[in-house]
Amino acid sequence: MELLTTQVAIIGAGPAGLLLGQLLYKAGIEHIIIEQRSAEYVASRIRAGILEQVSVDLLKQAGVDQHLKEKGLPHSGIEILTNGQKHRVDLSALTGGKQVTVYGQTEVTKDLMMAREAAQLKSFYEAQNVQVSDFYQTPKVHFEYQGKSIQIECDFIAGCDGYHGICRASVPQDKIKTYEKVYPFGWLGVLADVPPVADELIYVQSERGFALCSMRSETRSRYYLQVPLNDRVEDWSDERFWEELKSRLDAESQKKLVTGPSIEKSIAPLRSFVTEPMRFGKLFLAGDAAHIVPPTGAKGLNLAASDIAYLSSALIEYYVEGSDQGIQEYSEKCLQRVWKAERFSWWMTHLLHRFEIESEFEHKIKQAELSYILGSTAGKTTLAENYVGLPIHA
Ligand code: RFL
Ligand code: PHB
C-alpha cells in the first residue's frame, strides 16, 4: 500500500471540490483531490447555468475568471410568464444594482480544471472504492488507483462528493439529521444550438405545467419542461419537446422560438434535502453532499460556492492565523444561508409548478399569490433579493 500525507483531502472534483482546491492552493495550503469518475466525464455534465455575484467574486478570488469575464452574460432581469402575460422582474433596479451571470457549470468546471492542470496540482481521477475513516481523530482516506491501494493521512477531509457520495454516508447515524422533500415531477432539459427565444430568462407558469427558457450563449439555448416523474427521455422526441414547450409559451415567444436538433436531453428529479450539521469532527460536507435544492431558484451551484467560501476561509484562518474559530462556526454559518436558499427554491417551485394533488382552492390561492408578487414592488423585491443571492456574511 502506498502512503501519502497532505493537509486537506478533498473528495469529489465537482465545482465544490475544484473551487476549494484552487482557493487552498492560492493560500499555500497543501491538498489532494480524489474523484471517482474520469476528468472527461466530470467536465461534460450539463447542469446549472446561473451564477450569483457571490460566486463570480469567488471565482475571481480563485484567479479563474478570465473566460467568465469574456463569455459570461450579465443579466439584470428575468421574465415571469403567467396567464399568457410576461412580467419583468428588474433584478438590478430592485436590489441596488445587483445582477446574475449566465455561465454554464460545464464552463466553470473546465476553467477550474485547466487552472489545476497549469499549477500541476495532485488529483486522482477514476479512484475506486473511496473510503474515509477516523475523522474524529486522525482522518484517513483509502482508495484504489490503477490497481494500487493508496492511503492518505490528512488534517481534514472535505466531503465535496455530491448527493450520492460516501462522505455523508460514513457519518455515524446518531450524529446526523437529514430533512427531505421529494417533488412529484421532474425537469426535462434540452440543450440546442439555436438562438435563445429572448434576451432574458423566462420562467413559465402555465396550465400545462412549468417551463423555463434559459441559455448558455447567444447561439445556444437551454430549455426545461416540467414532466411526470416516470417519463423517460426516450418518450420525448425533439419534435414532441418543441411542441410542448411552444404550447406553454405566450404568442410572442411562440413566434420567436427557434427550434433545432437537441445536443443533450435529460430528466432530473426535483428534491429538497438538508443535512445537519455540516461538520463531523475533521470531516466537512460542502455542496450537494450536504444539501440539494430544486433548480427553480437557480441556487444549487451557488450554494456549493458559498459553502466553499466559508470552508476555505475557515481553513486559511486555521493554517495561517492558528485560529479554529471559522472551523467551529462552519456548519452554523453555512446552514443559515442554506435554509434561506432552501426556502426560496421551495417557494419558487411551489409557486410556478402544477401539482396534480392541489385542490381548486389551493390553485386559486397560488394564482392570487403570484399575481400579488408580480403586481407589488415589495413582492418583486423579495423575489429579486433572493434570486440575485443573499449576502454571504450576513
Ligand atoms: P457535484 O457536481 O455532484 O460533484 C460531486 C463530485 O463528487 C464525485 N463523487 C465521488 N468522488 C470520489 N469518491 C466518491 N465516492 C464519489 N462520489 C461522488 C462525483 O463524481 C462528482 O464529480 O457536486 P458539487 O461539487 O457540490 O456541485 C453542486 C452542483 O453540481 C449542483 O448543485 C448543481 O448542478 C445542481 N443542479 C442544478 N443547479 C442549478 O442551479 N441549476 C440547474 O439547472 C441544475 N441542474 C443540477 C442540475 C443537478 C443535477 N444532479 C445532481 C443530478 C441537473 C442535475 C441532473
Ligand atoms: C439553466 O440555465 O440551466 C438554469 C437557469 C435557471 C434555473 C435553472 C437552470 O433556475
- For atom 7 of ligand 2, the residue with the nearest CA is 298
Cα 371 to ligand 1 centre (Å): 34
Catalytic residue among 103, 203, 310, 318: 203
Q: For residue 221, give the DSSP letter.
A: E
Which residue(s) pair with 157 in the sheet? Answer: 9, 283
Question: In the structure grid, which three cell numbers stand for residue 84, read together?
Answer: 399568457
Q: What is the largest CA-CA distance in the chain?
A: 65
Reported as a single tens digit per residue, the pLDDT across 114-159 is 999 999 999 999 999 999 999 999 999 999 999 999 999 999 999 9
Looking up cell 416523474, which residue turns up? 229
Per-residue pLDDT band for 46 (boundaries 50, 70, 90) equals confident
Active site annotation includes 330: no
Question: In the structure grid, which three cell numbers stand for residue 287, read together?
Answer: 455542496
**Residue extents of the structural domains in the chain:** 2-75+101-180+271-353
Cα 159 to ligand 1 centre (Å): 12
Cα 96 to ligand 1 centre (Å): 32
CA distance 46 to 268: 11
CA distance 168 to 8: 17
Cα 48 to ligand 2 centre (Å): 6
| Nearest atom within ligand 2 for CA of residue 297 | 10
CA distance 192 to 261: 6
* Sign of the torsion angle spanned by Cα atoms 16, 18, 22, 28: positive
Reported as a single tens digit per residue, the pLDDT across 163-214 is 999 999 999 999 999 999 999 999 999 999 999 999 999 999 999 999 999 9
Ligand nearest to the CA of 296: 2
Single-letter code of the amino acid located at 147 = G
Using CB distances shorter than 6 Å, the residues near ligand 2 are 48-50, 201, 212, 214, 222, 295-296, 298
Quick check: 197 and 221 in contact, CB under 8 A? yes
Ligand nearest to the CA of 47: 1
Short-list 12, 15, 14, CA closest to 32: 12
Active site annotation includes 75: yes
- For atom 2 of ligand 2, the residue with the nearest CA is 49
How big is the chain by its Cα radius of gyration, in Å? 21
Q: What is the mean predicted confidence (pLDDT) over 362-375?
A: 96
CATH topology of domain 2-75+101-180+271-353: FAD/NAD(P)-binding domain (3.50.50)
Short-list 199, 247, 249, 190, CA closest to 222: 190
**What DSSP element (H or E) covers 316?**
helix 300-321
Q: Annotate 330-344 with three-state secondary structure.
A: HHHHHHHHHHHHHHH
Catalytic residue among 103, 224, 310, 387: 387
Cα 25 to ligand 2 centre (Å): 30
Cα 70 to ligand 2 centre (Å): 20
Ligand nearest to the CA of 144: 1
Reported as a single tens digit per residue, the pLDDT across 252-310 is 999 999 999 999 999 999 999 999 999 999 999 999 999 999 999 999 999 999 999 99
| pLDDT reported for residue 393 | 73
CA distance 53 to 119: 26
| Nearest atom within ligand 2 for CA of residue 48 | 3
CB count in 10 Å sphere of residue 153: 14
Question: In the structure grid, which three cell numbers stand for residue 69, read together?
Answer: 469575464
- 3-state helix vs strand vs coil in the chain, percent to 5: 40, 30, 30
CA distance 259 to 238: 9
Reported as a single tens digit per residue, the pLDDT across 71-119 is 999 999 999 999 999 999 999 999 999 999 999 999 999 999 999 999 9
Active site annotation includes 387: yes
Ligand 1, pocket-test mutation among 301, 311, 345, most atoms within 8 A of CB: 301
CA distance 99 to 179: 31
Quick check: 226 and 185 in contact, CB under 8 A? yes
